[in-house]
Amino acid sequence: MEPWAYWLIAAGILLVLEMMTLTFYLLWICIGAVAGGIISLFAPDAYVLQVILASLVALVLTIFTKPLTRKIHSAKGYEDTGIELVGKQGIVVESIEQGQYGIVKVGGDTWSATSTQKLDRDELVRVIKRGSSIIEVERWEELI
């Protein structure tokens, strides 16, 4: 197989992983892999050059976009929809086995969720913790 195909496969895998994590770090590495693939089209035997260029592209994108994302997150009017999730009620859309992932709907959004309890479909839950793209939930217990 041609070297550019390996770079393209790596970029595709990284892009899919980025869509699952939503961190942007894997996106920059994905773009670096695309750059390595482009170089491999013109210099298929220059493996060291391909790796160096791919690494540099990913590093430069990471370094220069970090202040930009920090600025966007601290801008007036920016709202992270996940911050106010803790304590909110949701409903289990896809059952959650203990230590496994399921899907929970909170408000109008669906989230990947985990729990220390087994939760069945259509059970009411409370959000107790939020990660970057996964929430932790527990069974909703009404206060009497």
In this structure, what token pair is assigned to residue 129?
């913790």
d(CA 115, CA 117): 5
In this structure, what token pair is assigned to residue 82?
């996940």
CA distance between the termini of the chain: 66
Q: What is the pLDDT along the chain (144 residues), one digit of tens a residue?
A: 899 999 999 999 999 998 887 677 789 999 999 999 999 999 999 999 999 999 999 999 989 887 877 776 666 665 555 567 888 999 999 999 988 899 999 988 888 999 998 999 999 999 998 877 788 999 987 643
pLDDT value of position 122 = 92
Type of residue at 23: T
What architecture is the 83-139 domain classified under in CATH? Beta Barrel (2.40)
pLDDT value of position 143 = 44
pLDDT value of position 77 = 63
pLDDT value of position 99 = 80
Domain boundaries along the sequence of the chain: 3-74, 83-139
pLDDT value of position 24 = 74
d(CA 137, CA 119): 9
